[in-house]
Amino acid sequence: MDVAAVDSILTKYPETKGNLISILHEVQNRFRYLPEEELRYISKKTGVPITQIYSIANFYNRFTLEPRGKNRVCVCLGTACHVKGAERIMNEMERVLGINTGESTDDLSFSLEEVRCIGACSLAPAVVINEDTHSKVTPKQIGQLLKKYQQTSSPKA
């Protein structure tokens, strides 16, 4: 467990009340998920019962208790994207990455999620990878697209 990292986050929030979600956000940004040990440590330090923290971590979509890939792939399945064939994009993503929606690849380079409308309906079907939005994606482009992220992420790892 990375005590120093969690401690440095906790010192930013002397008042726990009302800050728990911000703390969890920072922990998730640091570790890409909410590790159990770290959550138990936060509970001990802040006095918030672990059941309450677990409940919050479970409730919000943004939080995940499973390790997530370095690259977060979100396929929009909102109405407009659905009409424009987002289902096919999703199937192709699953096929290329070899995982199901909501899972991460074994080497933790990619995780695949579905989202419901990202407000980019004019770009449908849209795919968001990390912070970049890709518009009018076709199943053919996907292999190429993912390769780009695979390459850029590998030197860092």
Partner 1 sequence: MRDLIHLTINGKDVEAPAGTTVLEAASSAGIFIPTLCYHEALEPEGSCRLCIVEVSGALRPGIRVSCIQEVKEGLVVETETERLQKNRRLILELLLGRSPYCKELLDLAARCGVVTSRFLTGENDDCIRCGKCVRVCRDKIGAYALCWVNRGNQRKITTDFERLSEYCIGCGSCAQVCPTGAIRMEDRGNERKIFTWGQVIARFTLEPCAQCGRPFAPKKYLERIREKAYKPKGLELVDAVCPECIKKKETMPPAVTDLSRMQFKVW
The residues of the shown chain that bind partner 1, judged by CB under 8 A, are: 36, 49-55, 58-59
Shortest distance, CB of residue 102 to partner 1, whole angstroms?
13
Shortest distance, CB of residue 59 to partner 1, whole angstroms?
6
Neighbouring-strand partners of residue 79: none
Give the largest CA-CA distance in the chain. 51
Handedness of CA 105, 107, 66, 155 (dihedral sign): negative
Match 């479970």 to its residue by tokens.
58
Shortest distance, CB of residue 123 to partner 1, whole angstroms?
28
Using the minimum distance from each CB to partner 1, give the nearer residue, 13 or 54.
54
Long-range contacts (CB closer than 8 Å, 24 or more residues apart) made by 42-48: 42/6, 42/10, 45/6, 45/7, 45/10, 46/10, 46/16, 46/20, 47/16, 48/16, 48/20
Using the minimum distance from each CB to partner 1, give the nearer residue, 37 or 132.
37
Using the minimum distance from each CB to partner 1, give the nearer residue, 18 or 47.
47
Shortest distance, CB of residue 50 to partner 1, whole angstroms?
5
Two structure tokens written together for 133: 């939005």
Using the minimum distance from each CB to partner 1, give the nearer residue, 22 or 60.
60
